[in-house]
Structure 1
């Protein structure tokens, strides 16, 4: 039977196509039981690579069946037909994804960004407390419900973090997701702590929320890594960001994994707290840590220069979702980075070409972590 007939027998009336890849597709459907629209991910076992079938798909299904958080896309039902088609019935993000939202409306006001970032951080804390890491956090994987609340989605790269005999989390070696959102230790091929890498991605997402652009130009990975390890962050003057917001981003995009914020520290940060006025007197000292004193100056001593042309790059979903691509995913011992450039799909570059920036002070001389 075709998809419409199979879904009809389960009480779903098939709707429009929401997305399609090499061996998976996502469609909308109306649930006669739930009385509202849902999203249906359809995966054909016959068309998927072996490593995805044996590793990524079982992880995703097991984790989706576990998660229950108001800021994570809800999974209502998972079933499989005798011919190997898997149907995952999920909550529908009716307002689209965060990237499209920012593309249409521009950078968010800090109050709106604070609310959404708090929701996203709460979802990540929930996952991390369960030793689940997402490993593909990006604006395209953050959906919005009818009230524009955050709904984290796409757990195709997620996994449970294994622990050693002493109870410590084990390191991971697999490169997952988009280079533009990946932590520097991942891009360098260093065995990494997945939870800490999720935190870096949160920093990239928050920067995009309040600036409407990417914090780093990923057209040259080697150059981007050098800038990241020097802890240099350019903030657009035109956005008039508060010191508290810059402080949070600065400590999320921390190249030293031992000093990068943990999820509990993010949620307790003064900027994230809804009623707190925050670091009105907070500064970034020479060690890159918060202290009390005069309001930090983020303006460099050198003359103002135009911002580097960055692309808020929406990588093709076929490159970051295992169920949406035809190539096999890397195994746990392989680093396979996707750094191909694409034309700017967001329409944000025009704003960036003439914008002035101010630069965060490096916390310390460049370091190489090995």
Structure 2
């Protein structure tokens, strides 16, 4: 019996799952004839999918398709496979999107360190430009958070995921409406969403923009939630927190901008226009003049300082002679830019050099069947729920999930595949996040590498084989 498969989507074949979980999956999609790559988000349809669910998905597609801006992930096309065709194809909504080949912006940030003033300035201004356009189109995003900010092959910021967005303004007349639906993730939502009253659309996105600026500068979110239940938020309200780390290391200009964006009263809060005109934003960008390789170097500087990049890309000074990976020429053409090369988004595996957009990865001196039980035990000891999944080609897989220190739910995969180094057999391990804060995910990756079961077998830069 042949297995149910995914359809070709307007000329693109779905070749590899690169994210998603539950009711949605994200695939890398390839148009062989035109030598193009894209991403395809698949929201699975089941007999339990309600009419309301369908309308929500259709609204997301309608809003996203109408938004065209350099700092918004491009919506290319979509098809729907209905349940009546399930004998041939997986039923669902198939959204063909621009592939963010640079991966998550926040995957490149060392926890509790941030990216420094220049990199934060460069990307914050792009975020402002994208959000200004979205608001002028009459749309409120309502789910601004680190995992929804991606990078293209040149390192340009792309705002993604319009699943919670809403139209609040008619462009033709300028007439606006208030919103009532409570949505978003607690560390990023504005405090006015704690009440049951209708709220103005634009100020809640401005608050989200402020939390993202803080996260760029500090390497963490400022609080669990904007309520009295959060000690940090209470200290923010009283002003005590400004004497403490990391607030007391921000420049006066950055702190002034943060306080304007994170003003409690939405009527007093900065607008995006206020932010554009703030002294911290209006100065020329040093990075913009330096090219994509310099940008990637600056973006990953905190990972270099902590040694995280040495673990993700140890540089074994050898190349596998095998080129069995038939995707490799396509990958080279589509992803191999100065930006992605400098970010080291390529990994050496048994089948040659492969594009791997996740920097939460490491190499080990044990073969997969010996390493995976240690990884599973190590993650379990960290309070992570693990479930064995069917292998994918030569890789062993784990489905993992849990909650981070900010009570945000995370889910993802651990994949371990064979790797040969200096004549010995080892493993290449990738932790691929589906949902959750990328910074928390990096903290989990670091904790796994440092746990007593795994640490003795991890290969580091310039370290020879241990066998």
CA RMSD across the alignment: 3.6
2:156 corresponds to: 149
**More relative contact order, 1 or 2 (CA 8 Å, 6+ apart):** 1
C-alpha deviation, 1:241, in angstroms: 2.4
C-alpha deviation, 1:228, in angstroms: 5.2
Change over 3 Å in CA distance of 1:88–1:239 after alignment to 2 = farther
Quick check: which has more Rg, 1 or 2? 2
Query: TM-score when scaled to structure 1?
Result: 0.69
Deviations 1:75-132 (A, max 9, x none): 1111112435221010111222123222479411211111101101100000000110
Moved more, 154-163 or 221-230: 221-230
Change over 3 Å in CA distance of 1:129–1:18 after alignment to 2 = same
C-alpha deviation, 1:231, in angstroms: 5.9
1:190 corresponds to: 197
Change over 3 Å in CA distance of 1:52–1:231 after alignment to 2 = farther
Tell me the distance in 1 between the aligned counterparts of 2:59 and 2:114: 34
C-alpha deviation, 1:168, in angstroms: 4.8
C-alpha deviation, 1:49, in angstroms: 4.3
Name the SS for the 1:113 alignment partner: helix
2:314 corresponds to: none
Deviations 1:226-281 (A, max 9, x none): 4455466546359842211111011101001111111111112111123299xxxx
2:216 corresponds to: 209
Tell me the distance in 2 between the aligned counterparts of 1:149 and 1:248: 23
Name the SS for the 1:79 alignment partner: strand
Tell me the distance in 2 between the aligned counterparts of 1:253 and 1:204: 8
Counterpart contact for 2:75–2:98, Cα < 8 Å: yes
Tell me the distance in 1 between the aligned counterparts of 2:49 and 2:235: 36
Deviations 1:284-325 (A, max 9, x none): xxxxxxxxxxxxxxxxxxxxxxxxxx946654379xxxxx99
Tell me the distance in 1 between the aligned counterparts of 2:255 and 2:34: 43
1:100-179 matched pairs, under 5 angstroms:
100-103=107-110, 106-162=113-169, 168-179=175-186
C-alpha deviation, 1:214, in angstroms: 1.4
Relative to its length, the structure with more strand (as a share) is: 2
Change over 3 Å in CA distance of 1:137–1:169 after alignment to 2 = same
Change over 3 Å in CA distance of 1:56–1:103 after alignment to 2 = farther
Q: Is it true that 1:13 corresponds to 2:10 in the alignment?
A: no
Moved more, 98-107 or 134-143: 98-107
Name the SS for the 2:78 alignment partner: strand
Change over 3 Å in CA distance of 1:108–1:312 after alignment to 2 = farther
Count of residue pairs the alignment pairs up: 296
Tell me the distance in 1 between the aligned counterparts of 2:445 and 2:39: 32
Change over 3 Å in CA distance of 1:102–1:2 after alignment to 2 = farther
Deviations 1:137-173 (A, max 9, x none): 000000111232210000000111157xx96522212
Name the SS for the 2:278 alignment partner: coil
* Unaligned 5+ runs, structure 2: 84-90, 287-403, 413-433, 447-467
Change over 3 Å in CA distance of 1:228–1:49 after alignment to 2 = farther
Change over 3 Å in CA distance of 1:196–1:119 after alignment to 2 = same
Counterpart contact for 2:7–2:13, Cα < 8 Å: no
Residue from 248, 255, 268 that aligns with 1:246: 255
Name the SS for the 2:71 alignment partner: coil
Change over 3 Å in CA distance of 1:124–1:344 after alignment to 2 = closer
Residue from 312, 316, 337 that aligns with 2:410: 316
1:345 corresponds to: 441
Counterpart contact for 1:117–1:206, Cα < 8 Å: yes
| Runs (4+) off by over 6 Å | none
Tell me the distance in 2 between the aligned counterparts of 1:14 and 1:119: 30
Counterpart contact for 1:211–1:239, Cα < 8 Å: no
Moved more, 143-152 or 229-238: 229-238
Name the SS for the 1:181 alignment partner: coil
